[in-house]
Amino acid sequence: MRFAIAVHGGAGSHSENSERNVNKVLKRACLEASDILKNKGGSVLDAVEAAIKVLENDEAFNAGYGSNLNTDHQVECDASIMDSRGSFGAVGAIKGLRNPISGARAVLEGSRPGRKSILGRVPPLLVCGDGAVTYVTRDVSKDLKTLLGPPEKVPIDSLISPRADREWRYWTERYRVANNENPTEEDKSSALDTVGATIICENGEAASGVSSGGLLLKFPGRIGEVFVWREYYRPLFNVEIRLQSTGLVVGRPASILREEESTASR
């Protein structure tokens, strides 16, 4: 089966010294996803999760380890994952999880139709904050059966990289001394945006995911656009468009189009 894989490391800038490493990690993410599909019998969701985990584990990106720190000097991440069958899961402002995308995957799996529900409770599609860690590592993961396994809980401080710590200290001081002098000064930190992956297979199956550490010095509990998704379907042209975050697009059968383009083609 043929497939197309696209990964991105966000819209922030990278120094010349780090650009080579960034490209290597992006390539490794693509290769990891390809290996899942070609050699390990994994699903398109497995492949997307695997690709994003590679990015989350490298401090060069604003996701997972090395993410921007909030005002409390902590990593708080958002992540979501979805497929072309309509399944979706997301986590927001989650702390102490090695790979937020795996938390989102656990939420997705926990919301599937037919899953055992006690007292008829409706499973969530989005969980946030401290309760999110408990939900994805205990409540859902006890019988979670995916190729990559359940999400891993880690000490909160273990997700702080030296670079993220330096930037936090620098900008915390800048904020303190410049609060009245230049309140419009912008954050010039390099890690600014969301990472993501999209995979489309020739049989029409597709999946996408996004993960982000959010803004530097964000208020604790702030959730970005990662968990927001939209679906758009045009039966006449057999084109389906799904959006996550700031524009991650999955088209079916194998077309990547913007909504305005499909509308203009009437």
Selected catalytic residue, list 71, 134, 184, 194: 194
Q: How distant is the alpha carbon of residue 256 from its chain centre?
A: 20
pLDDT for position 117: 73
Radius of gyration of the chain (CA): 19
pLDDT for position 84: 92
* Closest by CA position to 192, among listed 170, 173, 217: 217
pLDDT for position 119: 80
Active site residue 134: no
pLDDT for position 242: 54
- Which tokens in the block code for residue 24? 């290597």
Q: What is the pTM of this model?
A: 0.84
Per-residue pLDDT of the chain (266 residues), as tens digits, is 899 999 999 876 667 778 889 999 999 999 999 999 999 999 999 999 999 999 999 999 999 999 999 999 999 999 999 999 989 999 999 999 999 999 999 999 999 887 777 787 889 999 999 999 999 999 888 778 889 999 999 999 999 999 999 999 999 999 888 776 655 555 555 555 789 999 999 999 999 999 999 999 999 999 988 777 665 555 555 555 555 544 334 443 333 333 444 444 44
* Closest by CA position to 178, among listed 167, 187, 166, 165: 187
